């Protein structure tokens, strides 16, 4: 009885320390994220979004600024502090939900350690390579991971609540639906089209509900912001020109100083802090279900090229999560298989 009680106390202490560490890391990330980024374009300022006076392209992403406005009215926090508080919360949820997804993709993985891995590309892309702040950026990552975690764990009511809320933060929730399709659509035992439909009927129903919910929400948001200035989607800067500037070493927006690494357009080549290199190097260690997630990359790149500035390292939102998930699975399986080989070798050589 005493042993069981001691084990329970130890488990509680371990969990408490884990969450304290997660909160501390979230606070540290938020501090340096705000130190290294700034709002560079007045029509996009969070304060203007909160007052519904921003340009359409930014006004349609009003959830966090609006929440921050209301929070500053009912608490001791001012508007800026409220924005930071929601960044801390978003970072904490990102770490926790990323770990939850990992537990499903890589059974037996130690999420106490690997949950932090997602902050490597996020910190690199959003803080070091990037200098532009938007209130919806970090929450986008959190919403994406939380929604996937709820769906994977079959908490469908919570999933749809998060999915709907996330669409008011940023319209990229359609990528949640695409990710779910890639993860769960079954092509095995193909006999006929009707067989495939029957085999995936529950998934297809959910995908349809998500598509209808996303479409109706987007239409409603566009109606809400219809009288704001500007356009829904801006014309992106030339990706071809930017890539040419990288080759020739010219300064190119938003990299405007070749004397410093992080202000040189060639620093763009370190996107995601280079963690993607583990994917081709450890390809054989990646399970098929996880490999399917890589189809997300070309799907994401197409609208990114059409509607965003590819030179802004903060626009690769959901790709940070996908590349982190696949890289972690590859690394974890590689370490586990080599540990097993080493262990078997030691046993074989023992007298």
Domain that includes residue 231, residue range: 2-349
Determine whether 238 is exposed, middle or buried from the number of CB atoms within 10 Å of its CB (0-12, 13-18, 19+): middle
Count other Cβ atoms within 10 Å, centred on residue 194: 8
> For residues 85 and 77, is the Cβ–Cβ distance under 8 A?
yes
Per-residue pLDDT, 135: 97
Mean pLDDT by 10 residues, the chain (351 residues): 63 83 97 95 96 96 98 97 98 97 92 95 97 97 98 97 98 97 82 76 96 98 95 88 91 88 93 97 93 96 92 96 97 85 55 54
Q: Which contacts qualify for 345-348: CB closer than 8 Å, 24 or more apart?
A: none
Residues in the chain: 351
H helices present in the chain, as ranges = 2-36, 46-50, 56-59, 63-74, 79-105, 111-114, 119-123, 137-152, 156-167, 174-184, 193-199, 201-224, 239-248, 278-281, 288-291, 296-307, 317-349
CA distance 119 to 128: 12
Q: And the tokens for 253? A: 């927006």
Per-residue pLDDT, 271: 97
CA distance 67 to 65: 6
Q: And the tokens for 328? A: 């972690």
Per-residue pLDDT, 10: 65
Residue 242: alpha-carbon gap to chain centroid? 25
**DSSP sequence for 19-45:** HHHHHHHHHHHHHHHHHH-B---GGG-
Per-residue pLDDT, 52: 96
> For residues 59 and 231, is the Cβ–Cβ distance under 8 A?
no
Per-residue pLDDT, 225: 96
Q: How many domains does the chain have?
A: 1
Q: And the tokens for 162? A: 């998060």
pTM of the entire predicted model: 0.93
């Amino acid at each position: 009885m005493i042993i069981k009680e001691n084990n329970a106390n130890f488990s509680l202490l371990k969990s408490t320390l884990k969450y304290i560490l997660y909160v501390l890391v979230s606070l540290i990330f938020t501090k340096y994220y705000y130190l290294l980024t700034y709002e560079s374009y007045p029509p996009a300022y969070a304060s203007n979004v909160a007052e519904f006076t921003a340009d359409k392209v930014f006004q349609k992403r009003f959830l966090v600024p609006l929440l921050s406005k209301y929070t500053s009215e009912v608490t001791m926090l001012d508007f800026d502090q409220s924005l930071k508080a929601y960044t801390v919360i978003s970072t904490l949820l990102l770490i926790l939900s990323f770990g939850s997804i990992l537990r499903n993709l890589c059974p037996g993985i130690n999420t106490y350690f690997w949950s932090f891995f997602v902050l490597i590309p996020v910190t690199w892309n959003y803080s070091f390579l990037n200098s532009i702040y938007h209130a919806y950026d970090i929450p986008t990552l959190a919403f994406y991971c939380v929604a996937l975690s709820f769906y994977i764990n079959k908490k469908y009511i919570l999933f749809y609540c998060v999915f709907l809320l996330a669409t008011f933060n940023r319209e990229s929730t359609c990528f949640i639906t695409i990710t779910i399709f890639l993860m769960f659509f079954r092509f095995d035992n193909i006999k006929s089209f009707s067989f495939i439909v029957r085999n995936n009927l529950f998934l297809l129903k959910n995908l349809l509900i998500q598509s209808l919910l996303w479409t109706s929400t987007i239409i409603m948001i566009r109606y809400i912001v219809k009288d704001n200035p500007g356009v829904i989607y801006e014309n992106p800067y030339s990706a071809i020109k930017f890539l040419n500037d990288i080759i020739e070493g010219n300064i190119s927006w938003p990299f405007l100083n070749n004397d410093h690494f992080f202000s040189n357009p060639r620093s763009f080549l370190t996107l995601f802090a280079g963690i993607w290199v583990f994917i081709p190097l450890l390809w054989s260690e990646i399970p098929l279900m996880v490999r399917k997630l890589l189809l997300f990359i070309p799907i994401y790149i197409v609208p990114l090229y059409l509607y965003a500035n590819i030179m802004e390292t903060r626009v690769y939102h959901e790709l940070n999560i996908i590349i982190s998930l696949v890289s972690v699975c590859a690394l974890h399986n590689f370490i586990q298989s080599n540990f097993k080989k080493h262990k078997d070798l030691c046993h074989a050589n023992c007298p």
